[in-house]
Amino acid sequence: MIRLPPALPTCRIVFNPVASFLRLMARPRTTIRQAIVLRATILVLASCAALMTAGSAGAQQTTLRLVSAFPENNVYVKHLERWWTQLNSEGKGLLQITFVGGPRAIPTFEVGNAVKSGVVDLAMSAGAFYTNVLPVADALKLAEIPIAEQRRNGAYDYINQVWQEKAGIVYLGRFVEYQPFHLYLNKRIDRPDLSGLKLRVTTVYSDIFRALGADIVTTAPGEVYTALERGMVDGYGWPIGGIFDLNWQTHTKYRVDPGFYDAEVSLLMNLASWNRLSAAQREFLQRQMLALEAQNSIWKKYAEEEAERQRAAGIQVIGFNPEQSRQFLDRAYDVGWAAHIKASPEVAGRLRTLLSVKH
């Protein structure tokens, strides 16, 4: 059973969004970050107005606001949409989820702050997108065992302990796995040497690509197409699936094998929002999360289909010889863990033990 904190009694807060909005707008020297949060808050308040109206019809029902770090047309979002649609169907009178939107509602790298602060209740995100809130979140990409095993061996409980204590976030579960990352290029290489290449990254790939000699540029996914189109970068890191959703295949010539790490997309929840749920609501949400994770094997087939789709689109595979491949993978994991262990020896060391395959 998931070791999460008990629910606290619910309370009603009297809040005038119009008055608050006017006070914020009247402030001189509003920063860009404040403007982003203000925009997100306005969108969420708009949805809250509808939720409060719906909530008046049944006091036992709670509606949670969900935001995505990925664009709305992304395959991960589409997959989760089928889940929350089913949840809403089964949870009438008990628990509902309303989708606020993707990066147009809240920018990708602000999603962690949004769920931590309670601007939204739920967020679907990769750990790499909220390292500004919890740096060690990016270590989830290094897991060598699936989420089902993580729940059995204590990794899931430990992740929840750390996420709650350090960020006020409940880690509900992981619904994307079996999706190795790859390096995609517009220039051919014949060995694991990225010297002279300028690559788009997030924290997922920054350490390993830098260690292999690349110059790196950090951008949100929505900015990659323009960077490729204008020749601002020579390539990018991304999982095996999803490049067609973003239309990147039109500016991609090569995929480098082998893949490395494992793309992680998880569902996060504001701790205070979790505490406000009743026992029945928490049990229902946990059960729905387990049902979602039970579908994770679909990503294996999806990876195969996407590899074939890339081949058909003319994307060529650059492969290393067996020795080079082994050295590349060993270095990728060593570099990946080293950065986290240096920053947080106790937490990262424990995570490595729990998430690694025993050799």
Does 17 or 260 have the greater pLDDT score? 260
DSSP 8-state assignment for residue 138: G
CA angle 343, 344, 348 (to 5 degrees): 120
| Nearest-angstrom CA–CA distance, 223 and 245 | 14
**Does pLDDT of 57 surpass 80?**
no
Instruction: Identify the bridge partners of residue 98 per DSSP, sorted by sequence position.
Output: 65
Residue 202 confidence (pLDDT):
81
Nearest to 289 by CA among 157, 172, 177: 172
Does 11 or 218 have the greater pLDDT score? 218
**Does pLDDT of 53 surpass 90?**
no
Residue 163 confidence (pLDDT):
98
Residue 14 confidence (pLDDT):
38
- Position 179, amino acid: Q
CATH of domain 181-262+302-355: 3.40.190.170
Q: Which of 12-26, 188-202, 338-352 has the lowest mean pLDDT?
A: 12-26
| Nearest-angstrom CA–CA distance, 116 and 130 | 10
Largest Cα separation within the chain, whole Å, is 65
Residue 286: both structure tokens together: 């946990």
Inter-axis angle of helices 345-355 and 155-167, nearest 10: 150
**Does pLDDT of 51 surpass 90?**
no
Cβ density class 112-149: b for 16+ within 10 Å, e for less: bbbbbbebbbbbbbbbbbbbebbbbbbbbbbbebebbe
| Nearest-angstrom CA–CA distance, 166 and 345 | 15
| Nearest-angstrom CA–CA distance, 325 and 190 | 12
pLDDT in tens, 79-137: 999 999 999 999 999 999 999 999 999 999 999 999 999 999 999 999 999 999 999 99
**Does pLDDT of 201 surpass 60?**
yes
Residue 187: both structure tokens together: 């220039």
* Banded model confidence at residue 58, pLDDT cuts 50, 70, 90: very low
Place of tokens 């509602």: 105
Given a contact cutoff of 8 angstroms between Cβ atoms, the answer to whether 168 and 266 are in contact is no
Residue 55 confidence (pLDDT):
42
What count of other Cβ atoms lies within 10 Å of the Cβ of residue 183? 27
* Topology classification of domain 17-177+263-299: D-Maltodextrin-Binding Protein; domain 2 (3.40.190)
CA 303 remoteness from chain centre: 18
Average model confidence (pLDDT) across the chain: 87
pLDDT in tens, 158-177: 999 999 999 999 999 999 99
Scanning the chain, the segments in alpha helix (DSSP H) are: 17-26, 32-55, 75-90, 111-117, 147-153, 155-167, 203-211, 224-229, 271-276, 279-293, 298-312, 322-343, 345-355
Distances (CA, A) of 356 to 70, 140, 261: 27, 11, 11
Q: What are the DSSP calls for 142-209, one per residue? A: G--S-HHHHHHHTHHHHHHHHHHHHHSEEEEEEEE-S--EEEEESS--SSS--TT-EEEE-HHHHHHH
* Banded model confidence at residue 40, pLDDT cuts 50, 70, 90: low
**Does pLDDT of 332 surpass 90?**
yes
DSSP 8-state assignment for residue 9: P
Given a contact cutoff of 8 angstroms between Cβ atoms, the answer to whether 108 and 76 are in contact is no
Strands 181-185 and 254-260 come out as antiparallel
What count of other Cβ atoms lies within 10 Å of the Cβ of residue 257? 17
Residue 9 confidence (pLDDT):
40
Residues of the chain with CATH 3.40.190.170: 17-177+263-299, 181-262+302-355
Does 175 or 357 have the greater pLDDT score? 175
